[in-house]
Amino acid sequence: MSELGQSGQGQEESKISSYEGEQYLPYAELGQGEDFDIFGSVVVTNEDGTKEWKSYYGNQAVTKRLFTDPILAQADIQEDSQVVLVDFGGGDGIMLEQVNDQLSQKGLNVEPILLDMDEKKLEQAKQNRPNIRPIVGDLAKMPLLENSVDIGISRMAMQYLPRPFDRTEPLPKWLPVNYAIVRKQFEKDGYINQYDVLKEMYRVVKPDHTLVLVWPGAYKYATEEEKKRSDNISFFWNRITAAKELSQPHGRLMDEDFVSLERWFTAGEEMAQFAQKAGFDVEDGGEVDWIEYRITAKSVQNRFDPKGTWSDNIRQYIEEDFETADSKYQRGEGLDIIKWHDKNAVRLPISRLVLRKPKLTNNE
Ligand SMILES: C[S@@+](CC[C@H](N)C(=O)[O-])C[C@H]1O[C@@H](n2cnc3c(N)ncnc32)[C@H](O)[C@@H]1O
């Protein structure tokens, strides 16, 4: 057994509400993603330059390239060495299982731990992937011991935490309507942000060990002026999720709970600064140039309304969002809307950091 432990916070954490509603397809059921109307599809550029559709969540080769390869490149791992592999915000465990399999095939003896605040997803993981150990916990306050994790991985979780920003500055006028609610939430929960989570990851990862962090990046297509705005919020996603959750034709965030639906797309360079400030060495990082997420209105409906229960006006509302998105909703997010097969699609860059907690020096 590893030296990893639970501090008993699990019970308390379990009261945190799930970040999404229940009427959506789990990642494991999204299909293989070879179609732009399947949510979670990515365009991957192969080594020979050809481009292919792949499933971001389900495709083993994508996971290998994004996670397992950099882990193996970093690690001085010996065959049969025992490694505690923790997926931070790992959801239903689909990726943890893949990385676990891939590392195990290399001869490592892996203890895979799935940490997430969403108990329903952990329950799914327990049923479908019995070799994985689920732990309920908040990324900001993990029930894990200091220096207990050999390899950390995390995919698409950082964007649920806000970027740090100076709240004393005047608010930019383009901020979304729900900003007051966001601020209230920050004041209530102590304003936990992406930097705080990186500090927490730093605490639990062993010295001289690796963390691979992947999240939806931003700003790749933004103007220089837009890149300077580090306090913007993904209004675009708010509207989709709020419309869905509230079942209203003109969804707005009306309840504090929905604050957790915010997405904060942070540029690779900026996240690297947070990571360094938290204590990590940045081994590699930035927007990944061989993969691009694409989302259409239909793919949103296919995932979030798989049973077809949305009313026509909600469906129409989402479609209109994509139609008008380029002018109305980019707002410095760096979201890029392209016309594509007669549809509008959002291109979302994927960012990755390969981080290493430095060796402790003698006086530490
Ligand atoms: C988009 S899902 C990605 C799941 C998984 N990493 C994957 O790529 O398949 C984001 C996950 O992050 C989790 N999450 C978000 N904020 C969290 C927090 N503060 N603490 C723990 N988990 C969190 C959510 O519960 C959710 O399962």
Q: Which of 264, 267, 270 is nearest to 220 (CA)?
A: 267
Task: Decide if 269 is inside a domain.
Answer: yes
2 found inside a domain:
no
Closest Cα to atom 13 of ligand 1: 89
136 touches ligand 1 (CB under 6 Å): no
Q: How many Å lie between the centroid of ligand 1 and the Cα of residue 91?
A: 5
In a domain, 3, yes or no: no
Distance (Å, whole) CA 57 – CA 32 = 9
Q: Is 134 in the pocket of ligand 1 (CB under 6 A)?
A: no
More confident residue, 322 or 277: 277
Query: Cα–Cα distance between 36 and 48 in angstroms, integer?
Result: 22
The arithmetic mean of pLDDT across residues 92-118, rounded, is 94
Using the structure block, give the residue that is written with the tokens 């479908």.
128
CATH number at residue 97: 3.40.50.150
Contact call for residues 309 and 244 (beta carbons, < 8 A): no
What is the span of the domain harbouring residue 304? 10-356
Write phi, then psi, for 150 (nearest 5 degrees).
-80, -40
362 in any annotated domain: no
Give yes or no for residue 157 CB within 6 A of ligand 1: yes
Checking if the pLDDT of 29 tops 90, the result is no
Task: Determine if ligand 1 sits within 6 Å of the CB of residue 235.
Answer: no
Please tell me the predicted confidence (pLDDT) of residue 79: 64
Q: Look at the block and give the residue holding tokens 């890149």.
A: 227
Determine the atom of ligand 1 nearest the C-alpha atom of 118: 25
Instruction: Let me know if residue 193 belongs to a domain.
Output: yes
Q: What is the pLDDT of residues 236-273, one digit of tens each?
A: 454 444 444 443 333 333 333 333 345 677 888 889 99
Q: Is residue 49 part of a domain?
A: yes
Confidence of residue 316 (pLDDT cuts 50, 70, 90): confident
**CB-based contact 329:239 (threshold 8 Å):** yes
pLDDT of residue 155: 97
Comparing 26-40, 201-215, 348-362, which segment has the lowest mean pLDDT?
26-40
pLDDT confidence bin for 165, thresholds 50/70/90: low
Q: What integer pLDDT is reported at residue 81 of this predicted model? A: 78
Give the closest residue (by CA) to ligand 1 atom 27: 91
- Strand-pair partners of 111: 84
Identity of the residue numbered 263 = R
pLDDT band of 105, cuts 50, 70, 90: very high
Percentage of the chain lying above the pLDDT 90 cut: 36
- Does residue 364 form part of some domain? no
Report if residue 42 sits inside a domain: yes
Tell me if 200 CB under 6 Å of ligand 1: no
pLDDT > 70? residue 6: no
Residues with Cβ within 8 Å of 140's Cβ and at least 6 positions away in sequence, in order, are 161, 192, 196, 197, 200
346 and 236 Cβ atoms separated by less than 8 Å = yes
Give the number of domains in the chain. Answer: 1
In the prediction, which pLDDT does 317 show?
65
